[in-house]
Structure formats: structure tokens, C-alpha cells
Amino acid sequence: MRIMSGRSMGRAMSALVLCVMAAAAQAASPARVQLDRFLAEVKAFHARFEQQLFDEYGEPLETSNGEVDILRPGRFNWSYETPYRQRIVSDGKTLWVFDADLEQVTINEVELGSADSPGRLLGDEVDVDASFDVTELPAKEGVDWLRLKPKASGQQFNDIELGLRDGKVVAMRLKDNLGQTTAINFTDIERNPKISPEIFTFDAPPGVDIIRGTGS
């Protein structure tokens, strides 16, 4: 069985957080109303997060912690502090993945693919209902939930669940095509803080190995 590593999951998850923030919502259920409010009002976002990875049987594989800064559209700084140090940074055009413990940075262009891809959802205005089947889930412990299921086949994630409270995205549940689930909970959320654009670029420290992807 192939298991997606926490580092790889972190890269995919950071992009999906942004894709959810960039999508346009249409319906009027309680959770969709909150998502509408979030998309309309929140241009910048800062939070602490805890991320847990579970296998297909629900057994925990890894827990990580850190903080994230987002500036819509397309800019983010996703920093893991434990159990490993990693930064995932994008200015909307370039994506840097810096593994501090490995002393390695990978550089890629942000690719704009199909309507279902995170890159396209980051960069363009895409109707979420054209790319996902969206359903409302039962509320749990004061959190309203939505499920976004990709309409196209062959996507990395089979289901994306969003937890919303008071007009904020407070949690995500991502189920991949291996049956593994990533659960993310956000705390200390700041709406529209002042964020320096400089944190959305990355300069490799001296001595770090640089790996350039196709087109970068």
C-alpha cells in the first residue's frame, strides 16, 4: 500500500485551503451563507493549525502543527513547526517548498490547469458548482459543514469537507484517493490582518540545495 507522506500531504492541503477560499458559492444553506460571507469579507487570513493524518482504517499516522498566512488571491505562507520544519510559500506565480531539516528547497511555477485543479481555482474566478457537487452536512458541536466532491474523475482528493462557524473556516477534512484522511483545525484566527507581501516570497539560505521543477 502506498502511503502519502505528511510532507506531501502538507503541500496538497495548503493548495486546497486556498482553492476553497477562492471558489464562488451560490446556495443559501447555513454553511454556504457563511462561506459566502467569508469569501466576500476575508481578503487576508492568519491562523494557527493542527493537522492530523489518518490511514484508511482511521488510525492516526502523524500530527503536525504550525501557522498559516493567506493573502487572496493565490498568496500563502504555510509553515510547519513540528514534527518537522517546512515552509510552503507562494506569491501566486512561484511555489517554494523549503524543508529546513533536509536543507532543500524545491521551486516550481504555479500551474493553471483544469477547473478542478487547485492552481486554476487560485488564479481565476471559477464557479465551484461547475467543478464540485456540494452538499450540506449535519452541524457538529456548533460547526456547520459542507462537502465538496469533485465532478471530474482522477482527482487527488475524493471529498473535501469544510467546517464553518461565525463566518470563518475553522476546520477541513480531506479524504484522498488512497482512503487516507487529513483533518485540519484552525485556532487563533485573524480576519484581514495586515500582512507584509514580503512573506510570500522566499530566498534560499546559503548552502541549501535548490531543485527546480519544470518551467521554473
Q: What is the pLDDT of residue 211?
A: 95
**Rounded to an integer, what distance in angstroms lies between the CA atom of residue 90 and that of residue 76?**
5
This prediction's pTM: 0.78
pLDDT exceeds 60 at position 98: yes
Query: What separation in angstroms does the CA of 19 have from each of 16, 102, 118, 211?
Result: 5, 28, 5, 25
Q: Which residues contact 26 (CB under 8 A, 6 or more apart)?
A: 32, 127, 128, 129
Q: What is the pLDDT of residue 29?
A: 67
What kind of fold does domain 6-212 have according to CATH?
outer membrane lipoprotein receptor (LolB), chain A (2.50.20)
Q: Tell me the per-residue pLDDT of 71-81, one tens digit each, with 9 for 90 and over.
A: 887 788 999 99
> What percentage of the chain carries pLDDT values higher than 70?
77
Domain boundaries, the chain: 6-212
In the chain the first and final C-alpha atoms are separated, in Å, by 32
Q: CA-CA distance, 89 to 143, in Å (whole number)?
A: 29
Per-residue pLDDT, 132: 79
More confident residue, 164 or 19: 164
| Local confidence band at 113 (pLDDT 50, 70, 90 cut-offs) | very low
pLDDT, tens only, 155-166: 777 888 889 998
- Do the beta carbons of residue 137 and residue 122 sit within 8 Å? no
Type of residue at 168: K
pLDDT attached to residue 151: 84
Of 8, 10, 207, 204, residue with least CA distance to 96: 204
Return the minimum-mean-pLDDT range out of 2-11, 40-49, 84-93: 2-11
Higher pLDDT, 59 or 150: 59
Taking only the tens place, the pLDDT of each residue in 116-132 is 433 343 333 446 677 77
Q: Please tell me which residue, 196 or 3, carries the higher pLDDT value.
A: 196
